[in-house]
Structure 1
Amino acid sequence: MSAERDAALADRLADAVAHIDAPDVAVAVTRHGVRTVLTGGSALPPPTPRHTLRYELGSASKTFTVLLLAALARAGVLTLDDPLTAHLPDLPLPHPHSRRITLRHLATHTSGLPRIPTDLIAGALLRPYDNGYAAYDTERLLRTFARTRPRNRPGTRWRYSNFGLALLAPAMSHAAGADYPSLLRDHVLRPLGLDDTTLGPGATGTDAIGHCTNGVTPVAGADMGAFAAAGAVRSTPGDLLGYLEAHLSPEDTPLSGPLRDVQVPLLHRGWRHRSTHTLTWFHHPAPQGSLLFHAGATFGQQAFLGYHPATHTGLVALATRRGHTCRMISTSYELLYALAGLCQRL
């Protein structure tokens, strides 16, 4: 039975790698701690093996940031329901809704803030591969927040916001007395043994190179500036499997409490509120239990992280091309859903 299950899993992964249209593709699965990694792509294999490259996670980085938030809350450094103003005390906020935003609102995309600041929109539309984040420092982020009117009262509507997640970094830094990179390293990466996970580029030759929609033109690595908390994490397939394994077996880690906290369903969202969201993960129904997942994209790469606690299955998918025609996210989600059913049948 084990051989049959392993063969079925290998076939599923091979199909997914072939279906994702990108220069470099890595698909990795952990099932009860047993790992399987397959790579491929339309380009010639790079000098550094694809399974050891460090890939840009884009918005999947948010799961790391919110896990850090949960860890600081468990440690008593802050609480999730602290108002943002408690950790940015000198910031003038003329809009009453802004003063009501809590750290929980920022983490769960219920702050009422727009997806990105308005001063980034024009550049993103006119020059989609120009990185407007790189020159956007924390001072500018806070200044822009101070003059931004939330679109609704905090806590009343789910609206995905890179802007809101980015504000968690200065808030946590103020509360803990250390910068965001140091906090992430000391409270998340080191405790979970994620030695190949970084903010920003690693050593020469260790980072995957992203590509435009055409799959040919290289794209420079993403410098996220003050939006690091929303999208700057880079990691290897191996580290990401370890990250998902920590979520599947929190009791085996030093972060058992925070890892459980970020998996608790908190709110409903989407059409007719049929979808559920935890503190950081999207949460969908599946055989014998829910799927938890998060996707992300940078200017030239895409990532998908997901897991199914009921079958102790985790999936990592990475690609060095951005665009819907890459079929990255849909393929990854469908694969995870299929594995949830496959693992319970075999």
Structure 2
Amino acid sequence: MRTPIVLAAAGLVAAAAAAVLMPGPPHLGPERTGDAELAATVRAAVDDPENLRGLAVAVIEGDRVRVAGLGNRAPGGPAVEPGTPFEIGSIAKPLTGMLLARQVASGAVGPDDRLADVLPDVTGPAGAVTLAELASHRAGLPRLALDSAGAMVRTWWATSTAGNAYAGYDVQRIVTAARGTEPDDRGTVSYSNFGAALLGQALAARAAVDYPELIRREVLDPLGMTATVAATGADDLPAGRAEGATAADRPADPWLGAGYAPAGVGIWSTAEDLARLTAAMLAGTAPGADAATPRFDAGDDRRIGYGWFTSRHGDREIVWHNGGTGGFRAYLGFDRAADRGVVVLGNTTRDVDPIGLRLLGVRGDAAEESTGLDGWIGAALALAFTFLGGLSLWSTARRGTDRVTVLSDAVWAVVSLGLGHRLGDWSVVPGWVWPLGVALAGAAVVPAAQRWRGLPLVAGTPRWRRWTGAALSAAFAALAVVVIAA
């Protein structure tokens, strides 16, 4: 049998076997609960059901509130209901802004109070920023309190593996990180989870309670939002919750970390509860509703109040905030002039802002979806890992170096395929690309096997160096297997 035919056959067999494991995005299922008319309207507003699994939606029009659920809470799991809890991420920031507005109205604090005056443990330059600057992302603080090189690596690792990026960040760690932080470019809006976390912890310290208790007492209970919780530990996670996943269908861990709770870590809510908040904001009766008053320019036809953004779309003004965690996306927006608001919650990392804007009647570019930087990074990882291992094995097999090198490259061909499958963003790259990488690796096995008997065990550099290289390669491969299995 001629070699090209053997190569083609090996590649086809490998690709056929890999097709069973072909990665693919989740898909919004046919299930629906709640208001049937709203569910149909939402489905029509979804331009593509891929990369979504479940949605919980509320539409508020005057005194009328409609809620619906679409799809599933988890793969093959029960249907999403209007009362299904979702992680809402940064939608908690407007709630923290409402705490500030409420405490300002009561005289407990002033908007221009310095952080150090309210939270004395914060010393140094960061203590000079004001509460209003923190609430409007104008304090010049970094997005995250990455207080060490190790923290940066852990955050990157958690983000890459859909883990909990905020594990270990309790209140004291946030405060300690603030002491060593130098604000930069104060007065300019620069989105900061760190700043929002410090604001909430400062307000809680002034009230002499922890943040979960403060937000429940001052905002959630008055609005009847009994299904909204601030989970600072695994035992606090709500029952019947949706399970989060990446848009490429990788299961995501819940985000937990008490220090960042005011910024949206560990905050769970439902479409029904957030509809209560939206209705009260439209009516102006929500505790701390003045937080939504736009006070500062945020660029790109946007202004910001205390946590709430206001964006102009033609002659429309939408007050809004969105949220994103390792496995969820959320959007809440309302149009005061039209007396209309929407809530959209999703349990994958595909953005739901465009769905919310379409339900608000906003058309054009603002309601179109785009692939962000993270998506393109994930796409690059998918392509690189899927093909580089097979290409390296093919090159080594054709050159015919030694058995150690061939074996090492064969192991890495398999491991890199696993990394591509696990870390790649298969919502951007079509899933059928992965079997092509498997086909390449399978075809590369043919020349490797043909040359194997004629190759020395090691060749070239001193033997100790080759064995050391092989040992290091094996160690890194083992580490990669841990990543794949995580």
TM-score higher than 0.5: yes
- Cα distance between partner residues in 2 of 1:208 and 1:88: 36
Aligned to 1:15: 44
TM-score (norm 1): 0.84
Q: How does 1:205-244 map to 2 (within 5 A)?
A: 205-215=239-249, 217-231=250-264, 232-244=266-278
Cα distance, 1:304–1:82 mapped onto 2, change above 3 Å = same
Aligned to 1:36: 66
CA contact (8 A) 2:54 2:80 kept: no
The equivalent position to 2:299 in structure 1, one of 267, 270, 283, is 270
The equivalent position to 1:77 in structure 2, one of 105, 108, 131, is 108
User: What SS does structure 1 have at the residue aligned with 2:344?
Assistant: strand
- Cα distance between partner residues in 2 of 1:227 and 1:144: 12
Q: Give unpaired runs (5+ residues) of structure 2.
A: 1-34, 364-486
CA contact (8 A) 1:16 1:27 kept: no
- Cα distance between partner residues in 2 of 1:44 and 1:88: 44
Q: Give unpaired runs (5+ residues) of structure 1.
A: 1-5, 340-346
Aligned to 1:106: 134
Of structures 1 and 2, the one with the larger relative CO (CA 8 A, separation 6+) is 1
Q: Deviations over 1:149-183 (max 9, x none)?
A: 1122x32x110000000001221122112211111
Q: Deviations over 1:207-257 (max 9, x none)?
A: 111012312x32222213310000132111111101100100124x5x3xx
Aligned to 1:145: 178
Q: How does 1:1-346 map to 2 (within 5 A)?
A: 12-17=41-46, 19=48, 21-41=51-71, 46-47=77-78, 49-93=80-124, 95=125, 98-119=126-147, 120-128=151-159, 129-152=162-185, 154-155=186-187, 157-200=188-231, 205-215=239-249, 217-231=250-264, 232-251=266-285, 255=287, 258-259=288-289, 261-271=290-300, 274-286=301-313, 289-322=316-349, 326-338=350-362
- Cα distance between partner residues in 2 of 1:193 and 1:130: 32
Q: Deviations over 1:186-205 (max 9, x none)?
A: 11011111111111275663
User: What SS does structure 2 have at the residue aligned with 1:196?
Assistant: coil
- Cα distance between partner residues in 1 of 2:135 and 2:46: 32
Q: Which structure shows the higher helix fraction?
A: 2
- Cα distance between partner residues in 1 of 2:37 and 2:80: 25
- Cα distance between partner residues in 2 of 1:190 and 1:316: 19
- Aligned residues: CA RMSD: 2.4
Identity %: 31
TM-score (norm 2): 0.61
**CA-CA distance at 1:125 after TM superposition:** 2.6
- Report the number of matched residues: 318
Q: Deviations over 1:46-99 (max 9, x none)?
A: 436422211111011111111111111111111111100101224331x3xx24
- Cα distance between partner residues in 1 of 2:277 and 2:213: 18
- Cα distance between partner residues in 2 of 1:225 and 1:17: 35
CA contact (8 A) 2:56 2:84 kept: no
**CA-CA distance at 1:139 after TM superposition:** 1.3
* Paired residue type of 1:14: R
Cα distance, 1:180–1:8 mapped onto 2, change above 3 Å = closer
- Cα distance between partner residues in 2 of 1:199 and 1:10: 28
Q: Deviations over 1:105-162 (max 9, x none)?
A: 000000000111233433333331232312111111111111111122x32x110000
Rg larger in structure: 2
* Paired residue type of 1:163: F
**CA-CA distance at 1:18 after TM superposition:** 6.4
User: What SS does structure 2 have at the residue aligned with 1:210?
Assistant: coil
User: What SS does structure 2 have at the residue aligned with 1:50?
Assistant: coil
* Paired residue type of 2:140: G
- Cα distance between partner residues in 2 of 1:294 and 1:45: 30
- Cα distance between partner residues in 2 of 1:204 and 1:312: 31
CA contact (8 A) 1:48 1:205 kept: no
- Cα distance between partner residues in 2 of 1:90 and 1:8: 53
